[in-house]
């Protein structure tokens, strides 16, 4: 990674009719029997769902979500058709970076509940066939973590070398030119010992010293602790920033300044150092002992960098997220086709996301303001039918939209406070889950910690469950279809009609131990109707006879007998090729 997180985050800040039910009923009915295939690692057939715990469900009505709230909604998630939930950090934390500043890795913040609540959540999830993934923050702790409190207490304290401490270059000047992702120098002078500590992120997030074996041991033990509590893996936060150049050389400068007014630079000496991979291999070995999966927050500039995270012997992260996919910040068939081709060229197992707690919601990023619901279905129709494992973001299945703060004094996210007005922060994509059209969207009876957008009255679970055309119903049908389709789970990706700039067309083709299956996916990413003449796939197969499985527009007949597909503006057509 050579770009800054803030730059990365900034990239994302601004950067149908009836549903055909044919052949889907059986998929929906068999929802109850979850797909199990011993030959394939569980996470390859799973759909993951990210939960931001502050915003999911508030069981004790203090305006902030909690673990019991999540437990109460597991039935919803099971019915939705996801297989694993990733809970963003819920450990004790002063909440300077809303949980990514951890002050105790082996407990639960009282605002979310306690370990007993966690165990209850995990057991209930297990019963509902859902696995629980925790967020692991290895790069830094909170400055309120006892390790850091001890570390800063004296130059000879037991934990001094658990963090990165250095003298200034000259008095009054930080050790080098590195800048923090939250703006300003990445070094803060601590008057007590008159040395600087290093923080890649916020001032209150000092970096751990991963060259210290005691740090490694303590952090590896944290993962073991949670495996004992039944977790099925971790999402690894900021995995590319664990190590720093031992000589602390200045980073090369680039032209211009960033949104914080800092000089742009290439993070050559504090990002993506080779030593990262040794740690990942060790974390993976522990994960393997626990049938667990590691998901990487892997920001990369090119496919080779992303490929490295899998490990040369597939012995690092099983699921490094492809964030390059999210940099396609335009509803463009050509651009997505290109990015998918790049990912396919790596010959690894792709991990696609379109939204998370650090980027503007996909509903806004791709929506045109008028056809956002249709577009949300097109996006789902794409990334939930591509080869690989998708990770959803809570509320995406409803068409939840961003609700950015209007005034600086309302901003909660430290990134928005330092970056205002260019960067309004990430509050907008972290607003409470919209459960109902009642007050506060059914999230809480108190004042919610972030304001809910007015669109909650139409875009909420309760209303959408009773509307067959809703985004939620589309997601449910698509997830059910995916679960039952060998082609969508394991089939090859075969691009078709590659010169078409408006319509993304591909086939997922399965020929394995189960019954062979070919699924055709056609996605009209343009605002006008499109008629396409389907390419003949290179294997000579005919696509003429098809059984429509799921569309986002009315279809007269579920059977097709020609090579043409006529698509409504912003629409999805998924069909089984009949042989
Ligand atoms: C990445 C997390 O996703 C983001 O929310 C956080 O601010 C940084 N890491 C620092 O932990």
| CA 479 to ligand 1 center in whole angstroms | 28
Ligand 1 touching residue 207 (CB < 6 A): no
pLDDT at position 36: 63
Q: What atom in ligand 1 is closest to the CA of residue 200?
A: 10
CA distances from 260 to 254, 264, 405, 415 (A): 15, 10, 19, 10
Phi then psi for residue 122, to 5 deg, are: -60, -45
Q: How many other C-beta atoms are found inside a 10 Å radius of the C-beta of residue 246?
A: 10
Angle at 474 between CA 361 and CA 546, to 5 degrees: 125
CA distances from 155 to 192, 336, 467 (A): 9, 52, 64
Ligand 1 touching residue 396 (CB < 6 A): no
pLDDT tier at 38, thresholds 50, 70, 90: confident
Across 18-32, 202-216, 341-355, 375-389, least confident range: 18-32
Please state, in angstroms and rounded to a whole number, the distance separating the CA atoms of residues 41 and 492.
Answer: 17
Put the strands of the sheet holding 233-236 in their side by side order. Answer: 319-320, 293-296, 233-236, 131-136, 84-87, 48-51, 389-393, 351-353
Ligand 1 touching residue 239 (CB < 6 A): no
Q: Give the helix/strand (H/E) hosting 453.
A: none
For the entire predicted model, the pTM comes to 0.94
Contact 507, 520 (CB under 8 A): yes
pLDDT tens digits for 324-362? 999 998 999 999 999 999 999 999 999 999 999 999 999
Phi then psi for residue 362, to 5 deg, are: -60, -30
Residue 33: HSE in the Cβ half-sphere, 13 Å Cα cutoff: 6
pLDDT tier at 555, thresholds 50, 70, 90: low
**Positions marked active-site:** 237, 297
pLDDT at position 9: 40
Sign of the Cα pseudo-torsion (326, 328, 333, 336, in order): negative
DSSP 140: B
Which DSSP string corresponds to 517-555?
A: EEEEEEEE-SSS-EEEEPPPPTT----SEEEEEEESS--
Contact 380, 81 (CB under 8 A): no
pLDDT, averaged across the chain: 92
Ligand 1 touching residue 427 (CB < 6 A): no
Which residue from 237, 299, 326, 353 has its CB within 8 A of the most atoms of ligand 1, so it is best to mutate? Answer: 237
Strands 293-296 vs 319-320: parallel, antiparallel or unpaired? parallel
| CA 98 to ligand 1 center in whole angstroms | 9
Supply the residue whose CA is at minimum distance from atom 2 of ligand 1. 237
**For residue 515, pLDDT beyond 80:** yes
The interaxial angle of helices 471-484 and 372-383, nearest 10 deg, is 10
Residue 213: HSE in the Cβ half-sphere, 13 Å Cα cutoff: 0
Please state, in angstroms and rounded to a whole number, the distance separating the CA atoms of residues 343 and 355.
Answer: 18
Supply the residue whose CA is at minimum distance from atom 5 of ligand 1. 358
pLDDT tier at 31, thresholds 50, 70, 90: very low
| CA 27 to ligand 1 center in whole angstroms | 37
Identify which of 45, 139, 156, 44 has the alpha carbon closest to the alpha carbon of residue 97: 139
| CA 471 to ligand 1 center in whole angstroms | 29
> Tokens in use for 231?
């977790």
pLDDT at position 175: 98
Identify which of 62, 77, 71, 87 has the alpha carbon closest to the alpha carbon of residue 119: 71
Percent of the chain with pLDDT strictly greater than 70? 92
Percent of the chain with pLDDT strictly greater than 90? 88
Ligand 1 touching residue 135 (CB < 6 A): no
Q: What atom in ligand 1 is closest to the CA of residue 415?
A: 7
pLDDT at position 512: 87
Ligand 1 touching residue 100 (CB < 6 A): yes
3-state secondary structure of 571: strand
| CA 5 to ligand 1 center in whole angstroms | 8
pLDDT at position 554: 76
pLDDT tens digits for 73-124? 999 999 999 999 999 999 999 999 999 999 999 999 999 999 999 999 999 9
Ligand 1 touching residue 308 (CB < 6 A): no
Which residue from 100, 208, 241, 321 has its CB within 8 A of the most atoms of ligand 1, so it is best to mutate? Answer: 100
Which DSSP string corresponds to 16-41?
A: --PPP-TTTHHHHHGGGS----TTS-
Query: Which residues lie across from 86 on neighbouring strands?
Result: 50, 133
User: What is the mean predicted confidence (pLDDT) over 526-538?
Assistant: 90
pLDDT at position 11: 35
User: What is the mean predicted confidence (pLDDT) over 277-285?
Assistant: 98
pLDDT at position 556: 54
Ligand 1 touching residue 97 (CB < 6 A): yes
pLDDT at position 69: 98
Q: What atom in ligand 1 is closest to the CA of residue 356?
A: 3
| CA 179 to ligand 1 center in whole angstroms | 16
Which residue from 7, 201, 206, 353 has its CB within 8 A of the most atoms of ligand 1, so it is best to mutate? Answer: 201
Please state, in angstroms and rounded to a whole number, the distance separating the CA atoms of residues 100 and 111.
Answer: 15
For residue 555, the Cα-to-chain-centroid distance in whole angstroms is: 33
Close Cβ partners of 51 (under 8 Å, ≥ 6 residues apart):
70, 85, 86, 87, 88, 394
Which residue from 238, 357, 429 has its CB within 8 A of the most atoms of ligand 1, so it is best to mutate? Answer: 238
């Amino acid at each position: 990674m050579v770009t800054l997180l803030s730059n990365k985050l900034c990239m994302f800040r601004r950067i149908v009719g009836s549903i055909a039910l044919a052949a889907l009923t059986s998929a929906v009915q068999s929802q109850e029997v979850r797909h199990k295939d011993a030959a394939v690692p569980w996470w390859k057939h799973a759909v993951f769902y990210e939960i931001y715990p502050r915003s999911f469900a508030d069981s004790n009505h203090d305006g902030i979500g909690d673990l019991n709230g999540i437990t109460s909604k597991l039935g919803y998630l099971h019915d939705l058709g996801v297989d694993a939930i990733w809970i963003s950090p819920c450990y004790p934390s002063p909440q300077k970076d809303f949980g990514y500043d951890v002050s105790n890795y082996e407990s639960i913040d009282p605002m979310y509940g306690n370990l007993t609540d966690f165990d209850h959540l995990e057991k209930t999830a297990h019963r509902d066939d859902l696995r629980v993934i925790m967020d692991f923050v290895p790069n830094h702790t909170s400055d309120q973590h006892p390790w850091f409190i001890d570390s800063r207490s004296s130059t000879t304290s037991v934990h001094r070398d658990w963090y990165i401490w250095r003298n200034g270059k000259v008095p009054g000047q930080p050790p080098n030119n590195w800048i923090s992702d939250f703006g300003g120098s990445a070094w803060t002078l601590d008057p007590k010992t008159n040395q600087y500590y290093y923080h890649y992120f916020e001032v209150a997030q000092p970096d751990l010293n991963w060259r210290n074996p005691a740090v490694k041991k303590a952090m590896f033990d944290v993962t073991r602790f949670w495996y004992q509590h039944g977790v099925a893996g971790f999402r690894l936060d900021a995995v590319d920033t664990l190590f720093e150049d031992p000589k602390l050389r200045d980073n090369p400068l680039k032209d211009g300044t960033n949104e914080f007014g800092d000089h742009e630079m290439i993070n050559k000496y504090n990002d993506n150092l080779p030593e990262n991979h040794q740690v990942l291999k060790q974390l993976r070995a522990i994960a393997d002992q626990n049938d667990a999966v590691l998901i990487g927050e892997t920001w990369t500039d090119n496919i080779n960098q992303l490929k490295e995270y899998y490990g040369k012997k597939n012995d690092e992260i099983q699921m490094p997220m492809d964030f390059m996919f999210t940099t396609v910040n335009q509803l463009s068939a050509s651009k997505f086709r290109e990015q998918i081709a790049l990912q396919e060229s790596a010959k690894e197992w792709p991990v696609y996301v379109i939204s998370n707690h650090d980027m503007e919601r996909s509903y806004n990023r791709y929506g045109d303001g008028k056809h956002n619901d249709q577009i949300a279905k097109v996006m789902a129709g794409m990334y939930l039918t591509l080869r690989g494992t998708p990770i959803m973001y809570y509320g995406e299945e409803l068409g939840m939209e961003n609700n950015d703060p209007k005034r600086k004094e309302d901003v909660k996210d430290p990134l928005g406070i330092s970056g205002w007005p260019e960067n309004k922060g990430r509050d907008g994509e972290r607003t409470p889950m919209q459960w109902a059209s009642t007050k506060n969207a059914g999230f809480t009876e108190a004042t919610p910690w972030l304001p809910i957008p007015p669109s909650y009255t139409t875009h909420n679970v309760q209303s959408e469950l009773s509307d067959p055309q809703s985004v939620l119903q589309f997601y449910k049908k698509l997830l059910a279809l995916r679960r039952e389709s060998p082609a969508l789970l394991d089939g090859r990706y075969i691009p078709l009609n590659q010169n078409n700039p408006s319509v993304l067309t591909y086939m997922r083709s399965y020929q394995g131990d189960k019954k062979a299956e070919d699924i055709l996916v056609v996605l009209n990413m343009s605002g006008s109707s499109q008629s396409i003449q389907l390419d003949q796939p290179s294997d000579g197969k005919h696509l003429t006879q098809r059984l429509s499985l799921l569309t986002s527009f009315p279809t007269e007949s579920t059977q097709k007998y020609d090579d043409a597909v006529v698509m409504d503006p912003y629409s999805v057509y998924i069909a089984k090729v009949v042989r």
